[in-house]
Amino acid sequence: MKLRIAVTDACIFIDLYDLGLVNVFFQLELEIHTTTSVYFELYSEQQQILKAYQSVGRLIVHNLKEEDFLQIQSESYPRSLSETDKSVLHVANKLNACVLSSDKTVRNCAKNKDIEYHGMIWIFDKLVEAALLSKKQMAIKLEELVANNFIFQNNKALVAEIEKRLKLWK
């Protein structure tokens, strides 16, 4: 996999933290970015782990400036997007990066703005492709994600995609 730039929202970091996969995630050949807004949505334990990756240059945290906020205000975003979500989309657009999010509204907005986007299933695929975890380990983690995250339980398309992966990975 060639190096890509990805801007990550809070839900991805939360899922990775809950699954114990933060360390493995940062081993992917990705240049990971986020915003201070995302960072401050996380619990202090989650922030501490990310701070370690920031200190070694594996995570770049963007502190938006006034001009960024003015640009965000001038854009047309759905009202259902939070300011934090807008910051992620703004930075991704500015860097010509992909967005990593499990949030359907964020993903739909990224799609409408021609910004590449991916979620946890894509991250699982990349972890398996990079041989950072075995298919069996990833199947276990995916089942854990489904058991603990209602977003994955209540979405028929996601459930179908997950079942497809579980068959491949077991």
Q: Over 80: is that where the pLDDT of 153 sits? A: no
CB-count burial class (<10 Å; 0-12, 13-18, 19+) for 144 = middle
- Helix/strand/coil (H/E/C) assignment for every residue in 68-111: HHHHHHHCCCCCCCCHHHHHHHHHHHHHCCEEECCCHHHHHHHH
Q: Is 50 helix (H, G, I), strand (E, B) or coil?
A: helix
Q: Over 60: is that where the pLDDT of 3 sits? A: no
How far apart are alpha carbons 24 and 132 in whole angstroms? 7
Residues 98-117: tens digit of each pLDDT: 999 999 899 999 999 999 99
